[in-house]
């Protein structure tokens, strides 16, 4: 029963993570961090052959969940962003901001364990990564022309970019794909109706899956190695990239006023913040609830 419960829990979390890869301003890897799956996923992928059965039992429900989430939310996310954009974006803002304490704990924990103060040079590293991420996120308006008739190579590149967005928190796949003119192509891959067409599946979906698999294996191995050797430096850069996506979550449609729309948006932001804050330290928070009971 415990194994089944763990499988279903990972599957459900993966479904929500799938939302991140298809929603502008959000990152699949950020949701992996929120659900406490980031380190576990990196380690499982980069060491998949060392403990094959254990890693596979974790990665299968996660991959199934992410794939299901992408297919489920591709239309749902677009519906809410089209009809309730301000409320949806404020919800995402709350979810992301609620994760900041988790990143702070991760960035500082290595130095705290050694009984040392957090060096100021890492703060400059975080700020530098934030500035780089902001520059990257606002280059969408000067990108390439939208690809209308993609080839196999472009489909593989699409998979590689999406893989990066899942593994590097703060790298928004929607922004990068918009820059390279591939965002609409990615939405088409996440559309079940297209996947059922053999020509589309062989020409676009399959090469994208190949690029995604290569990217996940390659980038996760690199990040995992960097975290083992240069933990604080690597997580400082990741934290900076993460911070850089926050301003992009809101746009010109998110104008506050004295109305019900604003009240609902702010309420959803608070709910999103509380949810991600609770989930970011789930184990300790559950222990606290048990103690109170």
Query: What is the model's pLDDT at position 284?
Result: 60
pTM reported for the whole predicted model? 0.71
Q: What was the pLDDT predicted at 207? A: 93
Which of 60-69, 78-87, 116-125, 176-185 shows the lowest per-residue confidence on average (mean pLDDT)?
A: 176-185
pLDDT score recorded for residue 156: 92
Neighbour tally for 83: CB within 10 Å? 9
pLDDT of residue 33: 75
* Residues constituting the chain: 293
pLDDT tens digits, residue range 37-51? 888 888 898 888 888
pLDDT-derived band of residue 263, with 50, 70 and 90 as boundaries?
very high
Task: Tell me what pLDDT residue 87 has.
Answer: 92
> What is the rounded average pLDDT of the residues 284-289?
56
Give the list of residues 6+ apart from residue 286 with CB closer than 8 angstroms, or none.
none
Confidence of residue 235 (pLDDT cuts 50, 70, 90): confident
| CB half-sphere exposure, 286, CA atoms < 13 A | 5
Cα separations (Å) of 107 from 35, 102, 162, 239? 18, 9, 25, 8
- CA 234-163-225 angle, to 5 degrees, is 30
Better-predicted residue by pLDDT, 237 or 78:
237
Mean pLDDT for 181-202 is 81
Band the pLDDT of 23: cuts 50, 70, 90. Answer: low
Q: Is the pLDDT of residue 293 over 60?
A: no
Mean pLDDT of 242-247: 82
pLDDT over threshold 90, residue 128: yes
Closest by CA position to 40, among listed 20, 61, 19? 61
Taking residues 215-227, report their average pLDDT.
Answer: 88
pLDDT band of residue 106 (cuts 50, 70, 90) is confident
Token pair in block for residue 116: 């040392």
Instruction: Please state the domain extents for the chain.
Output: 2-292
Residues 172 and 166: their CA atoms lie apart, in Å, by 9
| Averaged pLDDT of the chain | 81
Look-up of token digits 């089944």: 4
Which tokens sit at 20?
């991140």
Find the range with the poorest average confidence among 24-33, 35-44, 59-68. 24-33
What pLDDT band is residue 59 in, cutting at 50, 70 and 90?
very high
């Amino acid at each position: 029963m415990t194994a089944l419960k763990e499988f279903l829990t990972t599957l459900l979390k993966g479904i929500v993570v799938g939302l991140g890869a298809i929603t502008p301003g959000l990152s699949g890897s950020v949701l992996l961090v929120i659900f406490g799956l980031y380190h576990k996923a990196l380690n499982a992928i980069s060491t998949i052959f060392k403990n094959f059965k254990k890693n596979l039992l974790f990665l299968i429900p996660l991959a199934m969940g992410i794939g299901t989430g992408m297919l489920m939310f591709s239309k749902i996310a677009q519906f809410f962003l089209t009809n309730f954009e301000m409320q949806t974006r404020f919800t995402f803002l709350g979810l992301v901001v609620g994760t900041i304490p988790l990143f702070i704990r991760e960035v500082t924990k290595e130095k705290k364990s050694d009984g040392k103060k957090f060096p100021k040079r890492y703060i400059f590293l975080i700020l530098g990564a934030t500035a780089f991420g902001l520059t990257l996120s606002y280059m969408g308006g000067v990108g390439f022309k939208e690809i209308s008739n993609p080839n196999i190579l472009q489909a593989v590149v699409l998979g590689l970019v999406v893989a990066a967005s899942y593994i590097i928190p703060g790298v928004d796949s929607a922004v990068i794909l918009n820059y390279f003119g591939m965002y609409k192509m990615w939405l088409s891959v996440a559309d079940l109706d297209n996947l059922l067409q053999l020509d589309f599946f062989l020409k676009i979906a399959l090469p994208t899956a190949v690029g995604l698999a290569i990217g996940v294996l390659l980038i996760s191995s690199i990040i995992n190695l960097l975290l083992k050797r240069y933990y604080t430096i690597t997580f400082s850069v990741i934290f900076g990239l993460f911070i850089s996506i926050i301003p992009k979550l809101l746009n010109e449609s998110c104008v506050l006023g004295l109305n019900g729309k604003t009240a609902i948006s702010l309420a959803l932001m608070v709910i999103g913040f509380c949810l991600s804050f609770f989930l970011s330290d789930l184990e300790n928070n559950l222990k606290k609830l048990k103690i109170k009971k």
